[in-house]
């Protein structure tokens, strides 16, 4: 749906004032020259109005952005302004294309020939997860001489899914999965012959041969300690892991806006980390009504990310639902519990297996605020 609007520019208001003044003076003084000048000014404004509206007619925009993207990752989509008119070229056209989380892509074209197009590549990065089908955009121009501001608002049909940020929890990086999480000093007492897993801060007893010097130099430049390579000892990784996500709280804990977003990011990071370790992973969450979601194959993994991109926080999660989900996990599986509530407000009321890993979302902080909608962001553009 196309919505064409026109606003009077300050230069146009001044021109109208001059035209009315000249016409009034000519009528009062009976001077035909002043009346002619006033009518000429009004004719000029009328011509600019008609030409300016024709300048934006039959113009459309398109963008070559992937339908599925990762949040907080830079992309450089190809933006196109297409002129479908058969004769009249378009001049001095500005494009403002709004994406989720008030991300506005701005482009400008000095000339768009008839039956042709103008294109540009503009970097863009969407900070948070989202899912949208339609994206509003605005074409604006002050052609021909800046007396009016013309704008055309339309909708771009482009299904877009923004995957959540993937942040690996410290509990998995510091102590690993399964056996290492219950014996933090295990890595110092045995020789590792497994695959390298990550880089962690140096601890007393670490072998000098495991020091990762490039990472240590960067860390010490920031005032931190040495960094060492961490390996997975053979036989300590489980064959299967189950991630339990819940929003249960025993107290009237204040819900922070960014808590659920941080929990989703840690969930995505956990799934990615376990998948890299070739551990069969399933997700059971209250916002999924406790239906398991597998993330074994590549297609299942990205389907899981798409589900997390659309997820909304579950309201009214009860204790028996959480306990039933925990009891339904086999003893041979590694349990990883993630919640958007601090562990101290729910952990004492739930029977948690000793081998379970509890992820605390307070370990990370990233900028998050309630952003305006795409239409609101578009309305604030020049």
Q: Which residues contact 272 (CB under 8 A, 6 or more apart)?
A: 166, 168, 301
Q: Would you say residue 255 has pLDDT above 90?
A: no
Q: How far is CA 352 from CA 122, 259, 355, 380, in A?
A: 50, 22, 8, 50
Kindly report whether the global pTM for this prediction surpasses the value 0.85. no
Name the CA dihedral angle for 21, 27, 29, 32, rounded to a multiple of 10 degrees: 100
**What average pLDDT score do residues 154-162 get?**
94
Note the CATH number of domain 57-165: 2.60.40.10
Q: Please name the residue ranges forming H helices in 115-195.
A: 170-175, 186-189
Q: Which residues contact 40 (CB under 8 A, 6 or more apart)?
A: none
Least confident of 172-186, 286-300, 316-330: 172-186
Report yes or no: 111 and 117 within 8 Å, Cβ to Cβ: no
The pLDDT of residue 234: 52
**What average pLDDT score do residues 272-290 get?**
92
Of residues 257 and 60, the one with the higher pLDDT is: 60
The pLDDT of residue 214: 86
201: confidence class by pLDDT, cuts 50, 70, 90? confident
The pLDDT of residue 301: 94
143: confidence class by pLDDT, cuts 50, 70, 90? very high
Q: Would you say residue 369 has pLDDT above 90?
A: no
The pLDDT of residue 228: 86
Return d(Cα 306, Cα 310) in angstroms, integer: 7
Q: Would you say residue 185 has pLDDT above 60?
A: no
Report yes or no: 42 and 136 within 8 Å, Cβ to Cβ: no
Q: Would you say residue 235 has pLDDT above 90?
A: no
pLDDT above 90: percentage of residues in the chain:
55
Return d(Cα 290, Cα 293) in angstroms, integer: 9
Q: Would you say residue 192 has pLDDT above 60?
A: no
Return d(Cα 49, Cα 9) in angstroms, integer: 11
239: confidence class by pLDDT, cuts 50, 70, 90? confident
Strands (DSSP E) along 293-381, which ranges?
293-294, 334-339, 357-359
- 291-307, pLDDT tens digit by residue? 999 998 899 999 999 99
The single-letter DSSP state of residue 147 is S
The pLDDT of residue 91: 95
Report yes or no: 72 and 124 within 8 Å, Cβ to Cβ: no
Query: Cis omega before residue 85 (within 30°)?
Result: no
181: confidence class by pLDDT, cuts 50, 70, 90? very low
Phi, psi of 99 (to 5 degrees): -115, 175
In the chain, what are the domain boundaries?
A: 10-53, 57-165, 170-179+236-363
Q: Please name the residue ranges forming H helices in 30-62.
A: 32-56
The pLDDT of residue 309: 94
Q: Please name the residue ranges forming H helices in 152-289.
A: 170-175, 186-189, 213-221, 257-276
Q: Which residues contact 344 (CB under 8 A, 6 or more apart)?
A: none
- 77-129, pLDDT tens digit by residue? 999 999 999 889 999 999 999 998 888 999 999 999 999 999 999 999 998 89
Mean of all residue pLDDT scores within the chain: 86
The pLDDT of residue 182: 43
């Amino acid at each position: 749906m196309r919505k064409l609007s026109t606003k009077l520019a300050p230069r146009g208001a001044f021109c109208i004032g001059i035209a009315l003044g000249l016409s009034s003076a000519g009528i009062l003084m009976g001077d035909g020259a002043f009346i002619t000048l006033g009518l000429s000014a009004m004719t000029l404004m009328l011509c600019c109005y008609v030409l300016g509206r024709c300048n934006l007619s039959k113009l459309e925009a398109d963008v070559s952005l992937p339908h599925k993207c990762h949040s907080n990752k830079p992309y450089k989509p190809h933006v196109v302004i297409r002129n479908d008119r058969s004769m009249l070229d378009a001049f001095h056209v500005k494009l403002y294309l709004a994406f989720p989380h008030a991300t506005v892509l701005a482009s400008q074209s000095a000339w768009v020939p008839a039956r042709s197009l103008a294109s540009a590549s503009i970097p863009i990065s969407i900070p948070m997860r989202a899912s949208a089908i339609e994206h509003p955009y605005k074409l604006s121009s002050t052609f021909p001489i800046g007396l009016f501001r013309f704008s055309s608002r339309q909708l771009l049909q482009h299904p877009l899914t923004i995957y959540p940020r993937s942040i690996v929890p410290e509990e998995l990086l510091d102590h690993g999965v399964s056996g290492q999480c219950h014996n933090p000093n295990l890595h110092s007492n045995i020789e590792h012959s497994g695959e390298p897993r990550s880089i962690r801060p140096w601890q007393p007893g670490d072998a000098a041969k495991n020091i990762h010097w490039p990472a240590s130099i960067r860390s010490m430049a920031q005032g931190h300690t040495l960094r060492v390579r961490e390996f997975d000892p053979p036989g300590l990784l489980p064959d299967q892991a189950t991630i339990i996500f819940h929003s249960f709280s025993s107290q009237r804990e204040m819900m922070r806006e960014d808590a659920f977003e941080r929990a989703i990011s840690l969930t995505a990071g956990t799934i990615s980390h376990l998948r890299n370790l070739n551990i069969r992973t399933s997700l059971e969450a209250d916002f999924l009504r406790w239906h398991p979601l597998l993330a074994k194959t590549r297609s299942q993994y990205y389907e899981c990310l798409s589900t997390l991109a659309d997820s909304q926080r579950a309201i009214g999660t009860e204790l028996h639902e959480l306990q039933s989900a925990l009891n339904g996990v086999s003893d041979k599986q590694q349990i990883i519990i993630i919640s958007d509530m601090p562990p101290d407000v729910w952990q004492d009321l739930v029977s948690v297996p000793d081998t379970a890993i509890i992820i605390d979302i307070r370990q990370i902080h990233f900028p998050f605020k309630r952003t305006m909608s795409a239409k609101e962001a578009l309305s604030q553009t020049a």
